[in-house]
Amino acid sequence: MAEDRDFNSASFYRFLTEKKLMASRCKKCHALYLPPHPICTRCHASEMEWVEMKGSGKLAAFTSIAVGPSSTIEEGYDRNNPYVVGIVKLDEGPKISGRIHGLDAKKPAGIKVGIPLEAEFPEQTEGRSPYVTFKTT
Ligand SMILES: [Zn+2]
């Protein structure tokens, strides 16, 4: 059961493999933590509960990457085929970073902060931590 999982990154990753974006919420002051924290840094309570994020949000900041790590080079990204990584402010409040699909990475000047995005859960690659990406809606 979800409620039994520890409030840490390992649980967060496990939820991602189940295509769920989960945050921890303080039962006392309702602060949300993503990635999840076991203790509330706002009120210091240690009573947390899991909450599933809808996965929708808005682009808060971004960068276009032309020279990425080897995993992205293997996927075909390079100087001529850059990709966008951004910070997404979820509708529920927390921010999360991830690759953003559906934007023209070659023309970053045309990308507007605030555009609506939706979470995607890519198939897992062996030897890589599960991750979340976003796409334009
Ligand atoms: Zn709290």
What would the two tokens of residue 3 be? 């409620």
Average pLDDT over residues 93-102: 96
* Distance of CA 93 from the midpoint of ligand 1 (Å): 15
DSSP class of 121 = -
CA distance 104 to 58: 17
Give the HSE-up count for residue 7: Cα atoms under 13 Å, Cβ half-sphere. 19
Residue 41: closest CA among 23, 26, 51, 53 = 26
pLDDT recorded at residue 24: 96
* Rounded (to 5) percent helix, strand, coil in the chain: 15, 35, 50
pLDDT at 18: 94
Q: In the predicted model, is pLDDT for residue 107 greater than 80?
A: yes
Is residue 96 within 8 A of residue 104, CB to CB? The reply is no
Residue 125 has pLDDT above 80, yes or no: no
Mean pLDDT calculated for residue range 113-123: 95
Are 26 and 42 spatial neighbours (Cβ–Cβ below 8 Å)? yes
Kindly state the DSSP code that residue 105 receives in the 8-state scheme. Answer: T
How many A from CA of 54 to the centre of ligand 1? 21
> Which protein residues have their CB within 5 A of the ion that is ligand 1?
26, 28-29, 31, 40, 42-43, 45
Q: What is the pLDDT of residue 38?
A: 93
- For the segment 37-90, what is each residue's pLDDT rounded down to a tens digit? 999 999 999 999 999 999 999 999 999 999 988 888 888 999 999 999 999 999
Model confidence pLDDT, tens digit, residues 16-42: 999 999 999 999 999 999 989 999 999
